[in-house]
Amino acid sequence: MKKTATRLADGRELLYFDSRDDAVRDTADRRPLQLPAAASEIRHDPLVGDGVAIAAQRQDRPLHPAADSCPLCPSRDGRPTEIPDRAYEVAVFENRFPALSGDSGRCEVVCFTDDHDASFADLDEDRAALVLAAWTDRTAELALLPAVEQVYCFENRGHEIGVTLGHPHGQIYGYPFVTPRTGRMLDSAAAHRERTGGRNLFDDVVADELADGRRIVLDSEHWLAFVPYAARWPYEIRLHPRRRVPDLPSLDDAARAEFPRVYLELLRRFDRIFGPGQPPTPYVSGWHQAPFRHPHRSEFALHLELFTSRRAPGKLKFVAGSEAGMNVFINDVRPEAAAGRLREVASA
């Protein structure tokens, strides 16, 4: 892999990730861009302690532009975009409209391919491996920033999820605090360790799923995918490496090599859940990683969470009263049934 670092016209960082060592990336961004808008700020809810990012500059971000105006496609024929080159494999750049910036963290955009009409599931294994390398690189680099405590690499796919740009891409958030979800997992792990005389919660959850077997979706040499016992979403998968590690840079070569095949299979199954003729399944897919400076980070288990808000053809699961107001999810699909369906739609 070759990484080439450059700058966009307003000073934001742009990184190209190429599979070939002889790739040349020297096309300059000549757009007359203004300097980035004022930084976001973090405010904390005094009742529950959660951090909230206030980022008014995001009001101006593009909303469903036409394909010929996509800012994530390569620059061509006098149409400059966020990617100055005429073609690319994987590109990462600082978000022009970040939710987190300055002393309040960092946001980056990850473009998986220059093909506007593709999806992650359309990539081959080599390209998926290059995306994994980019996620790993950015996690390690953002760990060095004093303003970043935790990194979340994720993809939102589908307008039902709220995606504003159709080009296949994801994002990387460098949070300036430990997120509420991660904090609760760490608290649960600490309580489990105390209650069981030192056992690891993540290890025990994985062992329980293997022993039960009904919710296993995919079981490979280095990865295990299952629907959680208390899944919140209609179709939800957790993907764990067999060897527990705290974050992406800690993955061993064997798990790293097998990941593309496993992940692409899961994404392709997601698009087959609801049968032929249905539109692509909307989803959120994101890596849960340990905070960089937490005293018990080594006890955290890296895992990928993949879920969809679609519960049946033409029907969505909405985050409404109970979920949005009280954070109590109600799932209309039994996890065991969801796992069974995800096994049924495996590739031949």
Residues annotated catalytic, as ranges: 169
Backbone angles phi, psi at 238, to 5 degrees: -115, 130
Residue 167 assigned to a binding site: yes
Q: In 213-282, which residue ranges form alpha helices assigned H by DSSP?
A: 253-270
Q: In the chain, which residue ranges form alpha helices assigned H by DSSP?
A: 125-142, 180-196, 201-212, 253-270, 326, 335-344
Query: How far apart, in whole angstroms, are the C-alpha atoms of residue 83 and residue 70?
Result: 11
Query: How far apart, in whole angstroms, are the C-alpha atoms of residue 245 and residue 256?
Result: 12
Query: How far apart, in whole angstroms, are the C-alpha atoms of residue 28 and residue 9?
Result: 8
Query: How far apart, in whole angstroms, are the C-alpha atoms of residue 21 and residue 113?
Result: 18
Residue 288 assigned to a binding site: no
Amino acid at 184: R
For 199, the 3-state DSSP assignment is coil
Residues 319, 323, 327, 329, Cα dihedral to 10°: -100
| 239 close to 263: Cβ distance less than 8 angstroms | yes
Query: How far apart, in whole angstroms, are the C-alpha atoms of residue 139 and residue 259?
Result: 17
Partnered with residue 74 across adjacent β-strands are 83
Binding positions for Zn(2+): 70, 73, 116, 167
